[in-house]
């Protein structure tokens, strides 16, 4: 099947490069442009997660009142499970050679896909904003400690530089991003190793081992926090970085390398953060106000500048992936513009959001946590539906159906109501099992409305802080689609095979006539 339809219908570009800027939009990547090995997926996922922000998560995990062993188990399980989901979604990119939220049309229909597309877009732009905000605050803190400058002038300067780098990378596109991520990974491994060496004396292993065990509900809550804060936040962009792989790439490798690359730094850094904060409640309190800047209090003055560079580098790496994927998602939602322009528009939203968080919001962490709770639930529900749809399919995605309109490749339909309603149901159920633990989100008192009816102790019980809504939404989406979507997938693939046979017959007849 030709990819020309994809290019004509949804992207004003042709799959070429101009001036170093990627011009592929949401079109299916042409076979001649598919390249690389699955091992290359290690670099973007490692670079975007080898951030010192992960060290701060050690404080958040201990905030559930659990022991050292429980915290380490929660970290490992949450990190590996979350990036395993990223690896599974990456399979779709190899099989379909298109962005994640374009391939999602197969499960939701071209118009129905707008619902998960909107949620995904908000999540991506939100993460961009959070990461740029953290980079701005961290740089200002370092400069203040050095006595070089303080106040808004430093924040503005840091903000301009960081935002400029991120927007530039998003505009340049895939090849530039993959190169940047590889070098960032190497540089940050070295600098992070030095940070660990300089701060390891702060660890009191006896105090850490003396932490009392917490209830099972707290362990589950800490696990889900890691699950939501890392891998689940990336599932909606996973196929964006595997779509350039040849379709002959081994599926096992496509799953393994994102899982390994993403979870390895998270496990190491969050675990180290647990050890640092286990005997230092003042450090934990400082992290709540400034998750990156607080970590500088443990460092000698001479290492502050290298620390600032590695901290900002890790945050910039994650934001680069976000702005690239958010641009593709915006195109999938229907924006008729070149990919680079979509990335530029996302950059403007990122800038406005950062201004709010850095200069307007009173409590950054609370806003951040409320954001994760609200959007993590529907994204988990979408992931369950998407993966179930992917596993059901025996054939590659139908390119004509992904991009066609009524009467032309309409096999995926305009709206798959069973999927849309299932996502809504998974989200409602999930929101009924989480609460706003921060109190920052105004008007969120309705969250957790299922905790009391299901005998889980209500909004004040132990299960209220376990964030059960995220894994439950994923399971509801997957199991629900298993029963509701199977018939539609079989019909779609039958139509795909029939269309392929007809196309071959037409091509044969045309060749015979010319002969």
pLDDT tens for residues 277-325? 998 888 888 887 777 778 888 888 888 888 888 888 888 999 999 999 9
Give the DSSP H or E segment for 143: helix 114-146
Given the structure tokens 């139509």, which residue do they identify?
A: 495
**Which residues, other chains included, contact 64 with Cβ-Cβ below 8 Å and sequence gap of 6+?**
74, 214, 218, 219, 221, 222, 225, 465
User: Quick one: CA torsion of 44, 47, 53, 55, rounded to 10 degrees?
Assistant: 120
User: Which carries the bigger pLDDT value, residue 338 or residue 494?
Assistant: 338
Determine the distance from the C-alpha atom of residue 104 to the mean position of all C-alpha atoms in its chain, rounded to a whole number: 15
Question: Residues 261-265: what's their mean pLDDT?
Answer: 95
Question: Residues 98-115: what's their mean pLDDT?
Answer: 95
Sorting pLDDT into bands at 50, 70 and 90, what band is 503?
low
Which neighbouring-strand residues pair with 57?
Answer: none
Question: How far, in Å, CA of 176 to CA of 8, rounded?
Answer: 25
What are all long-range contacts of 163-167, with beta carbons under 8 Å and residues at least 24 apart? 163/132, 163/347, 163/350, 163/351, 163/354, 165/316, 166/128, 166/132, 166/316, 166/319, 166/320, 166/323, 166/347, 166/350, 167/323, 167/343, 167/344, 167/347, 167/350
Which neighbouring-strand residues pair with 18?
Answer: 21
User: Which carries the bigger pLDDT value, residue 43 or residue 512?
Assistant: 43
Given the structure tokens 């496990």, which residue do they identify?
A: 267
> What's the pTM?
0.89
The answer to whether 182 and 47 have CB atoms below 8 angstroms apart is yes
Determine the distance from the C-alpha atom of residue 471 to the mean position of all C-alpha atoms in its chain, rounded to a whole number: 16
pLDDT value at residue 12: 33
| Tokens representing residue 131 in the block | 């990461």
Specify the DSSP class assigned to residue 448. Answer: T
The answer to whether 441 and 370 have CB atoms below 8 angstroms apart is yes
The answer to whether 120 and 329 have CB atoms below 8 angstroms apart is yes
User: Which carries the bigger pLDDT value, residue 253 or residue 365?
Assistant: 253
Q: For 57-90, what is each residue's pLDDT tens digit?
A: 999 899 889 999 999 999 999 999 999 999 999 9
Which of 158-162, 231-235, 272-276 has the largest mean confidence? 272-276
Distances (CA, A) of 495 to 232, 306, 472: 33, 58, 33
Angle at 365 between CA 359 and CA 368, to 5 degrees: 90
Sorting pLDDT into bands at 50, 70 and 90, what band is 405?
low
106 burial (CB, 10 Å; 0-12 / 13-18 / 19+) is buried
Average pLDDT of every residue of the chain:
86
| Tokens representing residue 152 in the block | 């808004």
The answer to whether 46 and 265 have CB atoms below 8 angstroms apart is yes
**Which residues, other chains included, contact 242 with Cβ-Cβ below 8 Å and sequence gap of 6+?**
38, 41, 90, 91, 92, 93, 94, 254, 258
Least confident span in 126-140, 383-397, 449-463:
126-140
Closest CA to 382 of 325, 340, 425: 425
Q: Is the pLDDT of residue 1 over 60?
A: no
Given the structure tokens 């706003």, which residue do they identify?
A: 436
Q: For 198-232, what is each residue's pLDDT tens digit?
A: 999 999 999 899 999 999 888 998 998 899 888 88
User: Which carries the bigger pLDDT value, residue 263 or residue 361?
Assistant: 263
Sorting pLDDT into bands at 50, 70 and 90, what band is 28?
very high
Least confident span in 28-32, 347-351, 458-462:
458-462
pLDDT value at residue 6: 38
Give the DSSP H or E segment for 43: helix 42-47
Question: Residues 325-334: what's their mean pLDDT?
Answer: 95
Sorting pLDDT into bands at 50, 70 and 90, what band is 467?
confident
Sorting pLDDT into bands at 50, 70 and 90, what band is 148?
confident
Given the structure tokens 């081994």, which residue do they identify?
A: 250
Helix, strand, coil percentages for the chain (3-state, nearest 5): 75, 0, 25
Secondary structure of 253-303 in the HEC alphabet? HHHHHHHHHHHHHHHHHHHHHHHHHCCCHHHHHHHHHCCCHHHHHHCCHHH
pLDDT value at residue 271: 95
**Helix 339-359 vs helix 114-146: angle between axes, to the nearest 10 degrees?**
50
Sorting pLDDT into bands at 50, 70 and 90, what band is 507?
low
Longest dimension (CA), the chain: 85
Sorting pLDDT into bands at 50, 70 and 90, what band is 407?
very low
Question: How far, in Å, CA of 253 to CA of 38, rounded?
Answer: 5
Q: Where are the beta strands (DSSP E) in 123-165?
A: none
| Tokens representing residue 189 in the block | 């491994």
Q: Is the pLDDT of residue 370 over 90?
A: no
Question: How far, in Å, CA of 403 to CA of 238, rounded?
Answer: 20
| Tokens representing residue 165 in the block | 């780098």
Question: How far, in Å, CA of 292 to CA of 295, rounded?
Answer: 6
The answer to whether 318 and 131 have CB atoms below 8 angstroms apart is yes
Question: Residues 137-151: what's their mean pLDDT?
Answer: 74
Which of 106-120, 277-291, 497-511 has the largest mean confidence? 106-120
User: Quick one: CA torsion of 66, 69, 73, 79, rounded to 10 degrees?
Assistant: 80
Which neighbouring-strand residues pair with 17?
Answer: 22
Q: What is the DSSP secondary-structure string of 154-174?
A: HHHHHHHHHHHHHHHHHHH-H
Closest CA to 323 of 356, 349, 352: 349
Secondary structure class of 250 (helix, strand, coil): coil
- Spell out the domains of the chain, with CATH numbers in brackets: 38-509 (1.10.4160.10)
pLDDT value at residue 9: 41
């Amino acid at each position: 099947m030709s990819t020309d339809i994809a290019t004509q219908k949804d992207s004003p570009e042709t799959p070429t490069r101009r001036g170093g800027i990627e011009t592929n939009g949401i079109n299916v990547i042409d076979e001649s442009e598919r390249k690389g090995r699955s091992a290359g997926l290690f670099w973007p996922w490692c670079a975007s997660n080898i951030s010192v922000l992960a060290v701060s998560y050690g404080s958040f995990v201990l905030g559930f009142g659990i022991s050292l062993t429980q915290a380490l188990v929660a970290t490992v399980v949450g990190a590996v499970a979350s990036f395993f989901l990223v690896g599974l979604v990456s399979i779709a990119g190899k099989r379909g050679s298109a962005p994640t939220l374009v391939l999602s049309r197969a499960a939701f229909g071209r118009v129905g896909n707008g619902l998960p597309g909107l949620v995904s877009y908000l999540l991506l732009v939100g993460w961009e904003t959070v990461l740029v905000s953290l980079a701005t605050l961290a740089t200002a803190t370092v400069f203040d400690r050095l006595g070089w400058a303080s106040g808004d002038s430093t924040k503005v300067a840091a903000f301009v530089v960081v935002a400029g780098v991120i927007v530039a990378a998003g505009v340049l596109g895939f090849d530039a991003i993959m190169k940047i991520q590889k070098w960032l990974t190497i540089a940050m491994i070295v600098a992070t190793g030095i940070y660990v060496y300089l701060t390891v004396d702060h660890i009191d292993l006896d105090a850490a081992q003396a932490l009392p065990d917490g209830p099972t509900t707290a362990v589950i809550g800490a696990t889900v926090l890691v699950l939501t804060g890392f891998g689940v936040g990336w599932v909606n962009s996973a196929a964006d970085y595997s779509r350039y792989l040849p379709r002959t790439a081994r599926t096992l490798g496509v799953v393994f390398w994102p899982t390994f690359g993403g979870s390895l730094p998270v496990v190491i850094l969050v675990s180290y953060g647990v050890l640092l904060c286990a005997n230092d409640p003042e450090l934990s309190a400082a992290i709540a106000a400034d998750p990156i800047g607080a970590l500088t209090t443990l460092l000698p003055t001479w290492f502050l500048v290298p620390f600032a560079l590695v901290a900002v580098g890790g945050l910039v790496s994650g934001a680069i992936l976000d702005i690239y994927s958010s641009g593709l998602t915006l195109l999938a939602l229907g924006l008729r513009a070149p990919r680079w322009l979509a990335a530029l528009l996302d950059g403007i939203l990122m800038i406005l959001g950062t201004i709010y968080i850095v200069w307007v919001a009173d409590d950054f962490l609370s806003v951040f946590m409320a954001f994760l709770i609200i959007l993590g639930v529907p994204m988990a529900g979408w992931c369950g539906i998407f993966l179930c749809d992917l596993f059901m399919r025996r054939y590659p995605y139908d390119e004509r159906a992904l991009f066609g309109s009524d009467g032309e490749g309409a096999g995926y339909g305009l709206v798959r109501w069973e999927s849309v309603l299932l996502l809504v149901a998974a989200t409602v159920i999930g929101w009924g099992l989480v609460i706003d633990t921060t109190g920052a989100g105004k008007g969120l008192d309705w969250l957790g409305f299922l905790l009391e009816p299901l005998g889980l102790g209500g909004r004040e019980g132990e299960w209220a802080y376990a964030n059960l809504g995220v894994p439950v939404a994923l399971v509801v989406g997957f199991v629900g689609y298993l029963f509701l979507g199977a018939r539609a997938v079989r019909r779609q693939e039958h139509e795909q095979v029939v269309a392929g046979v007809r196309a071959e017959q037409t091509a044969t007849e045309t060749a015979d006539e010319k002969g």
